[in-house]
Structure 1
Amino acid sequence: MNETVMFEDVLVQANCDISEKSGNIKCPFCNTWSFKIYPEQLAKCHNASCGWHGNAIKFYTEFKNIDKNEAIKELAVKLDLKKSIVGKKEQTLKEAKIALAKDLEFLSWCRLYFAFYKNDVVEQKIYAEKCGLSKSAFSRILNGNMGNALTWRKTLNVLRQEINIERLKKDMKKGAKYFLEDIPLEYVTKYRIKKRTKKSRPLS
């Protein structure tokens, strides 16, 4: 199972802060910004007083203080429910490109969602906090700038759970009628074209 578990997915399940600073994330054990995940799905804390290193299963076992078998069983259930890559074959470059294209399409709908509803329904700051990101970092991903795959996956997972794109499509079909009831009278008064009346000149 070690070979099929993405370290970043396990961090998400452990409710760890995955926001990035100078290429590292905060170490779950010593709380310093010295925890780095490598492509082979091993991680190491470069803080000399901590020095933790290992794979995702070892991390989850020690972080949750449970035995290895329990950790594997728990992660298998949690990650399968989230349609993670546990038990799935490695992606080819073509498959990864197609999956990423779908992510980018979804993000384009998300941008439209935020623009359409403004602050009536959504507030970007709330979503940024749910993703463990600053508003600026969240905005970069929303605009299609990956940064790193770890933060990208977490953000896309949260957005897919929270944002109702079908509702957006339905409301957009209403056209101008959607906005009709919510237009402030003040705006209507300002916008309204009035017939100008001629001012009478004072008698000399």
Structure 2
Amino acid sequence: MNETVSFEDVLILAGCDIMAKSGNIKCPFCQKMSFKIYPDQRAKCHNKSCNWYGDSAQFYSDYKEISRLEAIRELSSKLDLKKSIIQTKEQTYNEAKKSLSEDYKFLSWCRIYFAFYGDKVVNQKVYADKCGLSKSEFSRIINGIMGSATTWRKVLNILRQEINIDRLKRDIKKGSQYFIDDIPPEYIKKYRIKNKKK
């Protein structure tokens, strides 16, 4: 199963922190910044007192304290096959095009989300850190510029977990009423004063 499941997607599903530091993330078992994911989708904790090693199914099994078979069944049912988290075969050109069009639609909502709420609710740097990217790298993906396909999928998966588009749509429907309680009084005072006619 390690060849068809992204380890990072499984960590996100389990509610683990995947913010990287010097190539490592926090080990879900010993909490040390010593957990490294390798290209073959196996991971190892380099803290000698922990020393965990295995693939994503083994991780989920150990973390949830269930059998490996139960872990595989749970991962298969919980991860969205259509979003390329589990791939049993390579996508066709048209399938990839359709998946990317859904990604671009979601990213357009993300841009609205960041513009609408500003830093009051969200800060792009927080999400960039969660993805292990600089703010400029994160901004490129938000604006639809793909570098690495792996990084693209990772960022989209994190954003889909973190960003509540339904909430955004509800708040937008409130119109100007949404903003009325947050307008600084000094702005209102300035706005009230009309320029005197000469």
Aligned partner of 1:19: which letter? M
CA-CA distance at 1:40 after TM superposition: 1.4
Q: What is the match of residue 195 of structure 2?
A: 193
> Is residue 2:139 matched to residue 1:143?
yes
Summarize the Cα distance change of 1:113–1:67 in structure 2 as closer, same or farther, 3 Å threshold: closer
Instruction: Please give the TM-score of this superposition, normalised by the length of structure 2.
Output: 0.67
Aligned partner of 1:194: which letter? K
Structure 2 unpaired stretches of 5+ = 142-146
Size of the aligned set, in residue pairs, is 183
Match of 2:165 among 163, 166, 170: 163
Alignment of 1:28-39 (within 5 A): 28-39=28-39
Q: What is the match of residue 63 of structure 1?
A: 63
Summarize the Cα distance change of 1:87–1:152 in structure 2 as closer, same or farther, 3 Å threshold: closer
Larger radius of gyration, structure 1 or 2? 1
2-side partners of 1:104 and 1:21: how far apart?
Answer: 29
Summarize the Cα distance change of 1:87–1:154 in structure 2 as closer, same or farther, 3 Å threshold: closer
Q: Percent identity?
A: 45
> Is residue 2:24 matched to residue 1:21?
no
Summarize the Cα distance change of 1:66–1:87 in structure 2 as closer, same or farther, 3 Å threshold: same
**Per-residue Cα deviation, 1:21-78 (whole angstroms, up to 9, x for no partner):** 1111111122111111112111111223322211111111111111111111111111
CA-CA distance at 1:117 after TM superposition: 4.3
**Per-residue Cα deviation, 1:115-158 (whole angstroms, up to 9, x for no partner):** 23446xx6115994xx6956x96855651358973752443223
CA-CA distance at 1:113 after TM superposition: 3.2
Structure 1 unpaired stretches of 5+ = 197-204
The SS at the match of 1:2 is coil
2-side partners of 1:85 and 1:125: how far apart?
Answer: 26
Aligned partner of 2:22: which letter? S
Maintained 8 Å contact 1:41/1:56:
yes
What do you get for the CA RMSD once the two structures are aligned? 4.1
Instruction: Please give the TM-score of this superposition, normalised by the length of structure 1.
Output: 0.65
Q: What is the match of residue 110 of structure 1?
A: 110
Alignment of 1:33-52 (within 5 A): 33-52=33-52
Aligned partner of 1:193: which letter? N
Summarize the Cα distance change of 1:127–1:117 in structure 2 as closer, same or farther, 3 Å threshold: same
Aligned partner of 2:140: which letter? G
